[in-house]
A and B are shown apart, each in its own frame.
Chain A
Amino acid sequence: MRDIADTIKAGERNRDTMVLVRNYCANARVEKFGGTGMIEQATHLPIGLHGMRCDFAPEGGMACWDLRDAVIDFYDRNCTGCQHRRPQRLPNLLEIIAERDRARAAREVRDALDAELAAKALENRNTVRALLASSLGAIARTLLDDIGMFDADRSVKNFERVTQSARLAPEHFTTELVTYVSELAKDQPWFAHAALVILDAVGADDFQIVTLAMATLRRGYPDRVAVEKLLPRIQLLSADAVPDIVGAAIDLAEPDDSEFIFGDGQERALRDPAFLVALHRQFHIEVIATIERMLLSGKRALVERAGRGLHALHSSDAKIAAPILRTLVSVYVRAPSLVSDLEGDDDRLRDLACALNDAFDAAPQQVDELLQSFNRGAPPSHRARVAMAYARAVHVGYDEPRVPSTSRRHSLALTRLIWAPTVERDDKVLQEVASAFQAGAKGLELVVRAQLDAFVGALFLLDDRLAELEAEKGQPGEDFLIGMERNNRRFLMRELMHKFVDWASEAAAGDNAAVAKIVAMFDAIPDGRDNLRGALLGSIANLSGDLAGLKLMLPHLYTALVGPSVLGRSYAATAVGELPYRSLANIPDLLFEAFAALLWDQYVAVHKAAVSAFNRSIIPEKFRPNAAQAILNLIHYYRVQSNEDRFLAECVRILAGMADVFGEGSGALRRYLIEVAMGIEPHCLLSDIRSLSLSLGSEAEFAKLAARMIPHLADRHNQSSMAMKLLGRVSLDGLRANAQAFHDAAIAVLDCELMTALGIVEAFLKADMPDEADALVTTLLTINGDTVRMRRRGTLLRWPQLALRFERAVSARDADAISEVSRDWSKAAAVDKQDQEDGRERRARSGLPF
């Protein structure tokens, strides 16, 4: 809700800014960049990215969430000194500019003051150093000078000089110099690192070093230098100081890299748990107490830090969380109530979850009991987090070894997850349970195999639940959203059944006894429970990998293919699509014949499932002509149906890819398919057009389909090259025959994708259609207009026209015309260069307004 309120505020702010823009100048306007969101649609406020535009300013600039930022940038680049301004009324844009200028001036004053104060402070420190220098020898004086240089320029080079000198020549650091170093570091944080290195190198008093390191760590940063110096002197630490530095120790041991993006060149922060482990060994009670305080702080960052701390200490002490186990589980489960800045109920608290998982490993029974105790009578948001904890517990990484069946954590968590959906009714909790099964059972096969009976039993109960949901009928006048939620619930339950079958079959594969246990379910399923039988057919992908499994599954698959149940036949059709290629030799033709017949099935659910499965099936060549005929039959039928364009597009794509089976009639078929595709809504063809261009592009008629699709492929924001690629597939004859259609397409895309419009001009030129190219460019130039904003676009369009004139003059041996075009080109190039310079100059005036 807070996000929605903030979004509405942003929209209101933009609305006010738009008024100021309008009042400033009649030539200025605000343009939207991107799509329209639901809140924008509901409130009619200008929410989203908006930018300022004007016909007297060149194209380009920013579009921002806060329009004020874009407006300030535009003003700086284009409005300062503009001769075309048409003022309207007050207040106007200058209010924002004045506010920005005031803030900038105040910042400059502050910066100048800071600089002055810093210069004075430096001067004072230099005076102190000058006084000290008089009492030092030449080398010590040089070292003091080095410190002075570092003070004036805090570069790595100067830091190195100061610290390396201490390492290499500690004998030259006199007592006075060491005292000065220590004093300077006390109130100058920038010098703390250098001072720590120097004091350590010259063998200064340990308490002095510990005090300085503690002061550095108390600031809360994971300071490696301070820790390095503190670690060998840890026995000098007092227990009272421990709470202040545990946070820094955790950040050093397990840095928060939630923002880390692998592969962008940034290096992951190094993990160094030595100090935290040593701290824990020395001050066990204090460290655990501090971590518990972090857990109970109610702040997300601290809770996560506590999780990272426990995880870092887990490798040295597996039972690290034992004293605070209840707190740990409680905070994780009750986070929606206890953590004030949780990023929504979906916030997984990754680090805390990791710590909880470690604890689950160390004390599985205890953690399970705690989770169950917090689950009982808890609100759905807490129950969802219990499910999250169990889901995390069964997760196996892709590079982790196979989990043995004796693993208590995995067994306990899996059992809870299997039975949870049979009793749970809350959608959110069920979604969390389902998320645990989203990935395959890889790595957990042994655990799942040990619990096959549970999977089989739960499947029956889930089917009962699905039957209940399907029996629920909507009331007349029922809210649309309630109906949608009921459908989602049904879908989720069906999805869970499929996942259970997948997991069970994946784990059973290769084990004859386990496979037999699953296949035996077919006989145990009472008549009429087609959903359960259908879900079970989904196991064929895993179980038919070897001959024994295939032999057991085939009778049930065939029975379903030819059975009386519509739902059973559609499930069976889908299952045929999952048969692995390596089983092809062992599958009798009878099964494929039965499958091909489903493409002719009169029931929509059956033939749609069959078409979808056919696309990825291993059906042998000899059955393909019959299948192609069946799909053609479906195209004939669905061509005249409304609201079936997606399925029709799928049929067209599949048949276009196998047009060769029609032999001599393949050309006619392709032309027919193009005709059918011309009747399909373009947005339904977007994902198929590339495939169609490969299978149908050789036909001249494909050009008209391409011309129809190009305006729908153009994309202002993503610069898709699909339209250009499609253009490349069109035959020259097709282009010539459909010149007008492409002419219209170029006009349609001019505004949003100039490159595609130019691509059509180039295609005309390549197809030896100079007159059409000339006419198209002339039209595009007229539409483009001659404003300052559109001038560079116009120049881009003008190049091919000039080149065309030149080639005509060359061909006609008209020396005068050649010279004239040459002059025109030079003039246009000079103007373009001037425009580019102008653009650069304007951009130089721009700066980030925030």
Chain B
Amino acid sequence: MNVVLDQAYPFRIAAIEAIAAYPNTAGGNELRARAADVLSAAQLFGSAAASRDWQAFGIALEILGLLADWTEAVHGAAVDADRFLRACRLRYRSFAADAHHSPYGMALVTALAPVAEDLDVFSVLALRRAVAQVEMPIAVFGIDKPDHFPIISEDLPGQPEEIAVAFLEFTIDGKPVDTVHSLRTGEVHDLDLTIRVSRGPNALNGLLWNRCRSNRLALGTSSFSSFLSQRVHRPICFNVKAVWLCTLHRASMRDRLNFATRPSFNRNRGTTNQSYWPANERSASMALTQRCIH
């Protein structure tokens, strides 16, 4: 049980000012905005009885908003201006048909009763005043809806085990990348990549590698953009060896060449297929980029 009057009541003040203090300036949009505020304030009261009063007031403001649109459309000679009035009547009828009105709600239904009859645009102002004049019961407390079965951490599905990328090797044209290579632009070279993945979820049976960034390498084969590796054995889950042809587009002295891959995998969980992106996706990419080609 919390004091919510201080949070909710400013919306009532603003709404009453809109329909009573400045009746000629508040249009349909303004009133709908006020209605939305009031309905959100009704949520603050939770399961307290006052919540119904606030909801009723919010709906009354929505009805007044449609009336404001109708007035404006009639005065502006808009096409089919009465559509707002028809919508307004429908809204009113469903509001009046609610069997669970509080006394305040009933008073609003009575105040808006002319909506269901022959209505003149000049009587809209009187309707606004009639709604504004209905005194609303003041409630101070909101009652939180009880959480009977709070979810405890043990009930939550466990996070999938993260993938650890621990080691990778590159060779270019058969020579390990432990020295400085001289690559000419426009020439085709062999790029060998060995990735050893040490750990992953038990249910993981394949690993799809997507190339994320390779800003200076042009590919001789289409398979470079992505490839699938199969689980081999434990303790090393994956031992991937891939060979591509590559061409250097641009080069500069001691240029640093980066590329990154992103592992993705699917895992069956019960009857639903869910995709899990490893939380250490970034660190996996970092591990790959760390060993760069000079």
**A positions within 8 Å CB-CB of B:** 137-139, 142, 157, 160-161, 164-165, 167-169, 263, 265, 721, 724, 755, 758-759, 761-762, 765-766, 795-796, 799-800, 802-804, 806-808, 810-811, 813, 815, 818-819, 821-822, 825-826, 829, 832
Taking a contact as CB atoms under 8 Å apart, the answer to whether B3 and A138 are in contact is: no
**Candidates B3, B9, B167, B283; contact of A825 at CB < 8 Å:** B9
Taking a contact as CB atoms under 8 Å apart, the answer to whether B167 and A810 are in contact is: no
In the complex, which residue of chain A has the Cβ closest to the Cβ of B129? A813
Taking a contact as CB atoms under 8 Å apart, the answer to whether A157 and B283 are in contact is: yes
**B positions within 8 Å CB-CB of A:** 1, 3, 5-6, 9-10, 12-13, 16-17, 20-21, 129, 132-141, 152-154, 164, 166-167, 169, 176-179, 196, 198-199, 235-236, 280, 283, 287, 291
Contacting residues, chain B, for A821 (C-beta < 8 A):
13
How long is the Cα–Cα vector from A559 to B169 in the complex, in angstroms? 96
How long is the Cα–Cα vector from A802 to B16 in the complex, in angstroms? 15
Taking a contact as CB atoms under 8 Å apart, the answer to whether A807 and B135 are in contact is: yes
In the complex, which residue of chain A has the Cβ closest to the Cβ of B103? A768
Taking a contact as CB atoms under 8 Å apart, the answer to whether B16 and A810 are in contact is: yes
Min Cβ gap A828→B in Å is 9
Min Cβ gap A358→B in Å is 31
Taking a contact as CB atoms under 8 Å apart, the answer to whether A803 and B9 are in contact is: yes
Taking a contact as CB atoms under 8 Å apart, the answer to whether A164 and B139 are in contact is: no
How long is the Cα–Cα vector from A357 to B85 in the complex, in angstroms? 85
Contacting residues, chain B, for A161 (C-beta < 8 A):
166, 287
Min Cβ gap A378→B in Å is 47
How long is the Cα–Cα vector from A171 to B179 in the complex, in angstroms? 19
**Candidates B129, B139, B153, B291; contact of A265 at CB < 8 Å:** B153
How long is the Cα–Cα vector from A825 to B280 in the complex, in angstroms? 51
Given contacts A168-B166, A169-B167, A766-B139, 18 further A-B contacts (CB under 8 A): A139-B176, A164-B199, A165-B167, A167-B235, A168-B196, A169-B169, A755-B3, A758-B3, A762-B138, A762-B141, A765-B140, A800-B138, A806-B12, A806-B13, A807-B136, A807-B138, A815-B20, A818-B16
Min Cβ gap B202→A in Å is 18
Taking a contact as CB atoms under 8 Å apart, the answer to whether B166 and A810 are in contact is: no
Contacting residues, chain A, for B154 (C-beta < 8 A):
265
Taking a contact as CB atoms under 8 Å apart, the answer to whether A165 and B166 are in contact is: yes
How long is the Cα–Cα vector from A161 to B12 in the complex, in angstroms? 60
> Lowest 4 CB-CB distances: which A-B pairs, in order?
A138-B178, A164-B166, A168-B167, A762-B140
In the complex, which residue of chain B has the Cβ closest to the Cβ of A265? B153
Contacting residues, chain B, for A802 (C-beta < 8 A):
9
Given A160-B164, A825-B9, A799 and B3 touching (CB < 8 A)? yes
Min Cβ gap A606→B in Å is 45
Taking a contact as CB atoms under 8 Å apart, the answer to whether B1 and A818 are in contact is: no
Indicate the member of B21, B167, B176 with the most A CB atoms within 10 Å. B167
Taking a contact as CB atoms under 8 Å apart, the answer to whether A799 and B5 are in contact is: yes
Min Cβ gap A59→B in Å is 15
14 inter-chain pairs at a CB distance below 8 angstroms, sorted by A residue, are A138-B176, A160-B166, A164-B167, A169-B196, A263-B152, A724-B1, A758-B140, A759-B140, A765-B139, A799-B9, A799-B140, A803-B9, A803-B138, A832-B6
Min Cβ gap B205→A in Å is 20
Contacting residues, chain A, for B166 (C-beta < 8 A):
160-161, 164-165, 167-168
In the complex, which residue of chain A has the Cβ closest to the Cβ of B22? A815
Contacting residues, chain B, for A765 (C-beta < 8 A):
137-140
How long is the Cα–Cα vector from A772 to B218 in the complex, in angstroms? 84
In the complex, which residue of chain B has the Cβ closest to the Cβ of A801? B138
In the complex, which residue of chain B has the Cβ closest to the Cβ of A765? B138
In the complex, which residue of chain B has the Cβ closest to the Cβ of A157? B283
How long is the Cα–Cα vector from A795 to B179 in the complex, in angstroms? 74
In the complex, which residue of chain B has the Cβ closest to the Cβ of A143? B167
Taking a contact as CB atoms under 8 Å apart, the answer to whether A164 and B164 are in contact is: yes
In the complex, which residue of chain B has the Cβ closest to the Cβ of A807? B135
Min Cβ gap A598→B in Å is 43
Min Cβ gap A64→B in Å is 28
**Candidates B140, B178, B236; contact of A168 at CB < 8 Å:** B236
Min Cβ gap B131→A in Å is 10
Taking a contact as CB atoms under 8 Å apart, the answer to whether A811 and B167 are in contact is: no
How long is the Cα–Cα vector from A139 to B133 in the complex, in angstroms? 83
How long is the Cα–Cα vector from A42 to B236 in the complex, in angstroms? 71
Contacting residues, chain B, for A724 (C-beta < 8 A):
1, 141
How long is the Cα–Cα vector from A553 to B133 in the complex, in angstroms? 75
Taking a contact as CB atoms under 8 Å apart, the answer to whether A810 and B135 are in contact is: yes
Min Cβ gap B64→A in Å is 15
Taking a contact as CB atoms under 8 Å apart, the answer to whether A825 and B10 are in contact is: yes
How long is the Cα–Cα vector from A237 to B9 in the complex, in angstroms? 77
How long is the Cα–Cα vector from A810 to B12 in the complex, in angstroms? 11
Taking a contact as CB atoms under 8 Å apart, the answer to whether A137 and B133 are in contact is: no
How long is the Cα–Cα vector from A826 to B10 in the complex, in angstroms? 8
How long is the Cα–Cα vector from A808 to B136 in the complex, in angstroms? 10
How long is the Cα–Cα vector from A126 to B228 in the complex, in angstroms? 40
Contacting residues, chain B, for A758 (C-beta < 8 A):
3, 140-141
**Candidates B1, B6, B137, B235; contact of A755 at CB < 8 Å:** B1
Contacting residues, chain A, for B176 (C-beta < 8 A):
138-139
Given A161-B166, A164-B164, A759 and B141 touching (CB < 8 A)? yes
Min Cβ gap A703→B in Å is 19
Contacting residues, chain A, for B199 (C-beta < 8 A):
164
Min Cβ gap B16→A in Å is 6
Taking a contact as CB atoms under 8 Å apart, the answer to whether B21 and A825 are in contact is: no
Contacting residues, chain B, for A813 (C-beta < 8 A):
20, 129, 132-133
Taking a contact as CB atoms under 8 Å apart, the answer to whether A800 and B10 are in contact is: no
Contacting residues, chain B, for A800 (C-beta < 8 A):
5, 138, 140
Contacting residues, chain A, for B1 (C-beta < 8 A):
721, 724, 755
Contacting residues, chain A, for B167 (C-beta < 8 A):
164-165, 168-169
Min Cβ gap B175→A in Å is 11
Contacting residues, chain A, for B3 (C-beta < 8 A):
755, 758, 796, 799
Taking a contact as CB atoms under 8 Å apart, the answer to whether A811 and B133 are in contact is: yes
Contacting residues, chain A, for B140 (C-beta < 8 A):
758-759, 761-762, 765, 799-800
How long is the Cα–Cα vector from A803 to B11 in the complex, in angstroms? 12
Taking a contact as CB atoms under 8 Å apart, the answer to whether B16 and A799 are in contact is: no
How long is the Cα–Cα vector from A832 to B5 in the complex, in angstroms? 14
How long is the Cα–Cα vector from A167 to B132 in the complex, in angstroms? 77
Taking a contact as CB atoms under 8 Å apart, the answer to whether A829 and B133 are in contact is: no
How long is the Cα–Cα vector from A795 to B21 in the complex, in angstroms? 26
Contacting residues, chain A, for B5 (C-beta < 8 A):
799-800, 803
Min Cβ gap A814→B in Å is 10
How long is the Cα–Cα vector from A807 to B20 in the complex, in angstroms? 13
In the complex, which residue of chain A has the Cβ closest to the Cβ of B139? A762
How long is the Cα–Cα vector from A440 to B164 in the complex, in angstroms? 54
How long is the Cα–Cα vector from A759 to B178 in the complex, in angstroms? 77
How long is the Cα–Cα vector from A724 to B134 in the complex, in angstroms? 28
How long is the Cα–Cα vector from A721 to B144 in the complex, in angstroms? 13
How long is the Cα–Cα vector from A808 to B139 in the complex, in angstroms? 15
How long is the Cα–Cα vector from A506 to B9 in the complex, in angstroms? 63
In the complex, which residue of chain A has the Cβ closest to the Cβ of B194? A169
How long is the Cα–Cα vector from A165 to B177 in the complex, in angstroms? 17
Indicate the member of B13, B152, B169 with the most A CB atoms within 10 Å. B13
How long is the Cα–Cα vector from A818 to B16 in the complex, in angstroms? 9
How long is the Cα–Cα vector from A169 to B198 in the complex, in angstroms? 11
Min Cβ gap A540→B in Å is 39
Given A762-B139, A799-B140, A822 and B132 touching (CB < 8 A)? no
Min Cβ gap A808→B in Å is 8
Contacting residues, chain A, for B177 (C-beta < 8 A):
138
In the complex, which residue of chain B has the Cβ closest to the Cβ of A828? B6
How long is the Cα–Cα vector from A766 to B135 in the complex, in angstroms? 12
Contacting residues, chain A, for B6 (C-beta < 8 A):
795-796, 799, 829, 832
How long is the Cα–Cα vector from A139 to B236 in the complex, in angstroms? 19
Contacting residues, chain A, for B132 (C-beta < 8 A):
810, 813
Taking a contact as CB atoms under 8 Å apart, the answer to whether A810 and B20 are in contact is: yes
Contacting residues, chain A, for B152 (C-beta < 8 A):
263, 265
How long is the Cα–Cα vector from A786 to B167 in the complex, in angstroms? 69
Contacting residues, chain A, for B20 (C-beta < 8 A):
810, 813, 815, 818
In the complex, which residue of chain B has the Cβ closest to the Cβ of A798? B6
Min Cβ gap B262→A in Å is 17
Contacting residues, chain A, for B283 (C-beta < 8 A):
157
